[in-house]
Amino acid sequence: DGGITQSPKYLFRKEGQNVTLSCEQNLNHDAMYWYRQDPGQGLRLIYYSQIVNDFQKGDIAEGYSVSREKKESFPLTVTSAQKNPTAFYLCASSLGQGAGEKLFFGSGTQLSVL
Amino acid sequence: GENVEQHPSTLSVQEGDSAVIKCTYSDSASNYFPWYKQELGKGPQLIIDIRSNVGEKKDQRIAVTLNKTAKHFSLHITETQPEDSAVYFCAASISGGSQGNLIFGKGTKLSVKP
């Protein structure tokens, strides 16, 4: 089946530790995104990538980093600089590069701080 | 930048009743308005969208209306069923613009009681 796979489903971070969330898609989509979801909040954009080896900061990029070395993969690293990392993280992709494109989401990763 | 307000934050209806969720946006240049449904533990899924060249769009039991003058749009679900229970997000963006322009509302938790 085509889709977006996020792993792990649950992740725990110790203070001062960097952790990496995986996102893989087999939809042959050009664009990929990372959103953060907090209880009672909407989805806030962390980073997005329109093509391989290129990515842009979203509204809340501080404390996060990404890479896009392959079209199908867009991993997100939550660094120790992110002081409030506990949240539900969603990866998404779209076929095209415009803002009016349909987003396809993964099932998310819940990150918690130990 | 764009700001999207969504109301109500929670909505409880009896099975078979209608449900209406409303969103307002601030940027008059926005012209693409999608609605996403997020079931518990899953990523959001697009259920319907509308562009500013139309005032209403229907898909079976769901419909979206757009009032460009008042800058608000609404999701209507008729004959609600328990499987409609989920969190619904509205969003607004400028179609064709930067992918970072898609702004989400904070969500409405819909509960359909059998």
* Residues of B with Cβ-Cβ distance to A48 under 8 angstroms: 99-100
At A40 the pLDDT is 84
Q: What is the mean pLDDT of chain B?
A: 93
Q: What is the pLDDT of residue B53?
A: 83
Alpha carbon B79 to its chain centroid, in Å, reads 17
Tell whether the model's pLDDT for residue A1 goes beyond 80.
no
Average pLDDT over residues A62-80: 97
Which segment, A19-23, A110-114, B30-34, is predicted with the most confidence on average? Answer: A19-23
Burial class (CB in 10 A: 0-12, 13-18, 19+), B105: buried
Q: Average pLDDT, stretch B11-29?
A: 96
Q: Would you say residue B111 has pLDDT above 90? A: yes
Rounded to a whole number of angstroms, the distance from the CA of A66 to the nearest CA of chain B is 15
Which candidate from B42, B99, B106 shows the least CB-CB separation from A31?
B99
How far apart (Å, rounded) are the C-alpha atoms in residues A75 and A67?
6
Q: Please give the Cα distance from B111 to B84 (Å, whole number).
A: 8
pLDDT for B69-82, tens place per residue?
999 999 999 999 99
Average pLDDT of span B5-31: 96
